[in-house]
Amino acid sequence: MFEEYLQDSNEFLSIAEEAFKASNEREARRYYRASVFYSAGAIEAFVNYIADSFTQAESLTAHETAFLNDKRLIFSIDRGLNERTEYHSIDDKLRLLLNRFVPDFDFSSRIWSSFMQFKNFRDLLVHPRQADDKTEIIEYQKKVQAGLSSIIELMNCVSNGIFKKPLRRQLLDLIP
């Protein structure tokens, strides 16, 4: 699913850029936002795919698997070990995976910084505090391009660390 979301995000980015060139700001914003939502969905789907893989393989600790699956393990004398739903942010899940499988990953790198800026931008779009979108079109273009790029690069880094192979070439070619 994450591959299709990346392709969809790239397609919406292309449509947005065409609308931007045609000076159709309303349409450009619409498609930039769609690109943001699909790229954010792609990284979520990617991490969920990895979490599901580890759950099936039982190759991580129970606590790590629970964390990736938005659970928390609770032990009580009366009921033993139980799981409770507990939301964990995508950046925390990525930190866990990167720390575990790419121990030399630099969290002060351009990739991580761009991802976090993109995540904050996505959060502003999902949870708006203003009645109108005041973001300049050129700002959309920069943030969406940088965000999609950082997401694909992070996925590739995680893929190399866990699976010992990069993402498929057709996905890497989507980097703007």
Q: What percent of the chain has pLDDT over 90?
A: 73
For the residues 10-31, what does the mean pLDDT come to? 96
Q: Tell me which amino acid residue 157 is.
A: C
* Neighbouring C-beta atoms of residue 10, cutoff 10 Å: 21
**pLDDT for position 81:** 67
Instruction: Tell me the per-residue pLDDT of 121-161, one tens digit each, with 9 for 90 and over.
Output: 999 999 887 777 788 899 999 999 999 999 999 999 999 99
Helix (H) or strand (E) holding 30: helix 25-57
Q: Rounded to whole angstroms, how far apart are CA atoms 29 and 54?
A: 38
For the residues 8-18, what does the mean pLDDT come to? 97
**Would you say residue 112 has pLDDT above 80?**
yes
**pLDDT for position 71:** 85
Instruction: Tell me the per-residue pLDDT of 57-99, one tens digit each, with 9 for 90 and over.
Output: 888 888 898 889 888 777 767 777 667 778 899 999 999 999 9
Grade residue 117 by pLDDT with cuts at 50, 70 and 90.
very high
Residue position matching structure tokens 């698997």: 65
Q: What percent of the chain has pLDDT over 70?
A: 98
Structural domain boundaries of the chain? 2-57+89-172
The pTM score is 0.88
Q: Rounded to whole angstroms, how far apart are CA atoms 118 and 120?
A: 5
Q: State phi, psi for 154 to the nearest 5 degrees.
A: -65, -45
